[in-house]
């Protein structure tokens, strides 16, 4: 009998007013308790934090409870993986070295419960999102990261959170138009032989059975977009070879 594989993304911790952040944090702590109790693996598909930036000896203090709980999940024997999202460009070695979380800077292909699964945050997948794909290269530049580190933390963090908030507000307006591009992307991956494609980024929870090919020789697969953890509080689950999209209440 298999244990569940869990998928979560887009909590954007630190983005909202204190009252909303408290709700997000409490639900996330409870969800991580659930993962610790019965899970086998947890995949975080990016943007857990509104903004994350590490200096050599400093990390953001606001997320201490979540980080502690994640460490408890790892210590319980659960494998935790983090697939980098568009708010995670400046992750250092803290999550890997101190937390025991495996980091994937790009998409990842995994196998669980006899299912071949393609996992990615999803930023830059839409065909019309050409400008962002250029920006992505700029933000990941080692030179730009080094230059930003020269700013004192009390200046760099408020500035980065302000810019991240503006970016998220604009993205929420345009990402609904990307839905068909994401579905087409999933079709292509299923055609390549994947049993499931799991994405995030759009903040739109989706679970669809896709069929590709002729009626006599169809290829079937799952497209799962796990939504977000600030409006929908949704997550994905794989159990006994079946994928679920669930809401945490």
Domains recognised in the chain with CATH numbers = 5-247 (3.60.21.10)
C-alpha 247/C-alpha 77 separation (Å) is 25
Contact 95, 63 (CB under 8 A): no
The dihedral sign for the CA sequence 226, 230, 233, 239: positive
C-alpha 35/C-alpha 23 separation (Å) is 18
Per-residue confidence (pLDDT) for residue 157, from 0 to 100: 65
C-alpha 119/C-alpha 106 separation (Å) is 9
Largest CA distance in the chain: 63
The dihedral sign for the CA sequence 25, 222, 38, 99: negative
Residues in the chain: 249
Output the tens digit of pLDDT for each of the chain's 249 residues.
899 999 999 999 988 888 989 999 999 999 999 999 999 999 999 999 987 777 777 677 778 999 999 999 999 999 999 999 887 867 778 899 999 999 998 899 999 999 999 999 988 776 666 555 555 665 666 766 666 666 666 666 666 666 655 555 555 555 566 788 899 999 999 999 999 999 999 899 999 999 876 677 778 999 999 999 999 999 999 999 999 999 998
- Least Cα distance to 225 among 210, 240, 215 occurs for 210
Residue 13 has what DSSP assignment? B
C-alpha 77/C-alpha 73 separation (Å) is 7
Residues 6 or more apart whose CB falls under 8 angstroms from that of 45 comprise: 7, 8, 9, 10, 83, 85, 119, 120, 121, 122, 198, 199, 200, 226
User: In the β-sheet with 5-8, what is the strand arrangement from edge to edge?
Assistant: 102-104, 79-83, 41-44, 5-8, 234-239, 242-247
pTM: 0.85
Per-residue confidence (pLDDT) for residue 154, from 0 to 100: 67
């Amino acid at each position: 009998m298999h244990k569940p594989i869990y998928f979560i993304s887009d909590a954007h911790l630190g983005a909202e007013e204190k009252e909303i952040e408290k709700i997000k944090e409490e639900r996330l702590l409870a969800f991580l308790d659930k993962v610790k109790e019965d899970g086998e693996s947890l995949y975080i598909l990016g943007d857990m934090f509104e903004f994350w930036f590490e200096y050599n000896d400093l990390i953001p203090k606001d997320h201490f409870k979540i980080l502690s709980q994640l460490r408890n999940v790892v210590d319980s024997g659960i494998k935790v993986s983090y697939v980098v999202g568009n708010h995670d460009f400046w992750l250092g070695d803290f999550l890997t070295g101190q937390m025991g979380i495996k980091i994937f800077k790009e998409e990842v292909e995994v196998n669980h419960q006899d299912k071949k699964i393609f996992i990615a945050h999803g930023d830059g997948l839409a065909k019309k999102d050409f400008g962002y794909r250029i920006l992505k290269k700029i933000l990941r530049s080692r030179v730009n990261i080094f230059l930003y580190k020269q700013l004192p933390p009390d200046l760099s963090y408020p500035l980065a959170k302000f810019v991240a908030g503006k970016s998220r507000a604009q993205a929420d307006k345009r990402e609904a138009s990307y839905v068909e591009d994401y579905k087409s992307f999933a079709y292509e991956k299923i055609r390549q032989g994947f049993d499931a494609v799991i994405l995030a980024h759009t903040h739109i929870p989706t679970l669809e059975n896709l069929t590709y090919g002729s009626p006599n020789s169809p290829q079937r697969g799952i497209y799962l977009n796990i939504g977000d953890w600030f409006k929908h509080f949704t997550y994905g689950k794989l159990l006994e070879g079946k994928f679920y999209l669930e809401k945490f209440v």
